[in-house]
Structure 1
Amino acid sequence: MKTLPAQLTPFVRSDVTGALLAETLGRPEEEFSLAELGRRIGAGGGVVHKEVGRLLESGVLVDRQSGRNRLVRANQGHPLYSLMRELIQATYGPVPVLRDLLGGLDGVERAYIYGSWAARRHGEPGEYPNDVDVLVVGDPPRRELADLAVRAGEQVGLDVNITRVGRDEWDAASPSPFIATVRSRPLVEVLTEASDG
């Protein structure tokens, strides 16, 4: 994962930091190993170790040793905890929120965020996104996706729009204009076949 300056929250050091905060502040009671955090956000061990170290130094996270593992979690006693959590949930929260919601839905093979949110996450400058556009590959029921979009939107504080396409349509050598456009622009992986198992 890139360590460029964050476009979603300019005061956050990098997108890696934002993603780490989304995972930890979004689940304040849960402890994570550094390896698990790296897997969840797609960042290497060295980068995760460095960024977690900074968050521990500032008191945003707390840690403990469990055997050979270092486990970290959100510091709910931090004076800015509630404000940070709310802001991070609205900016970096869509990935873990959607991963959790879509991961339990039958028929979802892959899921990506596209559009302006994905562009900001990839470092493209621009205005803050008004919504989160999600592409689901597979055949989950549309009604369940609509309900899930509402729940995700309530959690992240932005409208969430979910579009469903079939696997054949997504994998087609000559895709529809919509799919061709989505594939040509920045995508943020939410679920893939490798991460879904």
Structure 2
Amino acid sequence: MPLLRSETQGRLLAELFLHPDREYSLRSLAKGVGVSPPTIQRDVDRLVKAAFLHEKRVGNSRLVRAAIDHPVFQQLADIALFGYGPLAILPDILSRISGISDAFIFGSWAARYSGQAVGHVGDLDVAVIGHPPRRDLFQAAEQASRRLKIETNIQRIGPEQWEDEKDPFVASIRSSPRLQIRLFEEEAP
């Protein structure tokens, strides 16, 4: 998003503003965003100073959360949702499903995120590698569509199919931009 200073800042805003009910330690926030704790600390310091975040100390830990009482909270949440939402929301949804070994976003949303000029992005394409129950994936797609405000399609690809270099569907995904979805275990802040 050219409105923001960096991709890290966008992912940080998405993590915080799309989960306003959560408090984060700087370590867990850095892990969720995929950067080092010192990098997160600099950005968090700026956001706290501007009153976009509330902070508190518990022992040696510094906990932060989005300031939902800030006058532009909703506008920032909307920008974060548009530019970075799937990367912040999908890990929560997919990490609860057994049988997924890998997951990523592909298609027009991934192309736009990667800097390619694409027109209107009307849906979100997600691939999961493994053998998760189809019913769980259907429910996950519905939940993601509601939370992300964009139709979400989740494709299940078995590990054998994913390794098949002659499979045309797999070949088309592999030859296009795709974004890794960080699957994780829920951890206490």
1:196 CA displacement: 5.4
In structure 1, how many angstroms separate the alpha carbons of the residues matched to 2:70 and 2:123?
Answer: 29
Opposite residue 10 of structure 2, the aligned amino acid is G
1:101 matched to 2:85: no
1:184 matched to 2:175: yes
1:19-58 Cα shifts (integer Å, max 9, x gaps)? 1111111221211112111111211233222222222222
Gaps in structure 2 of 5+ consecutive residues: none
1:165 CA displacement: 0.3
In structure 2, how many angstroms separate the alpha carbons of the residues matched to 1:54 and 1:68?
Answer: 20
Partner in structure 2 of residue 129 of structure 1:
121
SS of 1:92's equivalent in the other structure is: helix
Q: How does 1:74-93 map to 2 (within 5 A)?
A: 74-93=66-85
1:158-195 Cα shifts (integer Å, max 9, x gaps)? 111111100122234x2412212212322211145xx4
SS of 1:51's equivalent in the other structure is: helix
In structure 1, how many angstroms separate the alpha carbons of the residues matched to 2:56 and 2:82?
Answer: 28
In structure 1, how many angstroms separate the alpha carbons of the residues matched to 2:17 and 2:113?
Answer: 18
In structure 2, how many angstroms separate the alpha carbons of the residues matched to 1:31 and 1:107?
Answer: 29
Partner in structure 2 of residue 45 of structure 1:
37
Q: How does 1:2-17 map to 2 (within 5 A)?
A: 6=1, 10-17=2-9
In structure 2, how many angstroms separate the alpha carbons of the residues matched to 1:103 and 1:136?
Answer: 11
Opposite residue 161 of structure 2, the aligned amino acid is E
Q: Under a length normalisation based on structure 1, what TM-score does the superposition of the two structures give?
A: 0.84
Partner in structure 1 of residue 138 of structure 2:
146
* More divergent stretch after superposition (19-28 vs 181-190): 181-190
Opposite residue 34 of structure 2, the aligned amino acid is G
Compared CA separation, residues 169 and 196, structure 1 to 2 (3 A):
farther
Q: Under a length normalisation based on structure 2, what TM-score does the superposition of the two structures give?
A: 0.87
Partner in structure 1 of residue 63 of structure 2:
71
1:21, 1:88 within 8 Å by CA — same for their partners in 2?
yes
Q: Which among 156, 171, 196 is matched to residue 163 of structure 2?
A: 171
1:75 CA displacement: 0.5
In structure 1, how many angstroms separate the alpha carbons of the residues matched to 2:153 and 2:130?
Answer: 16
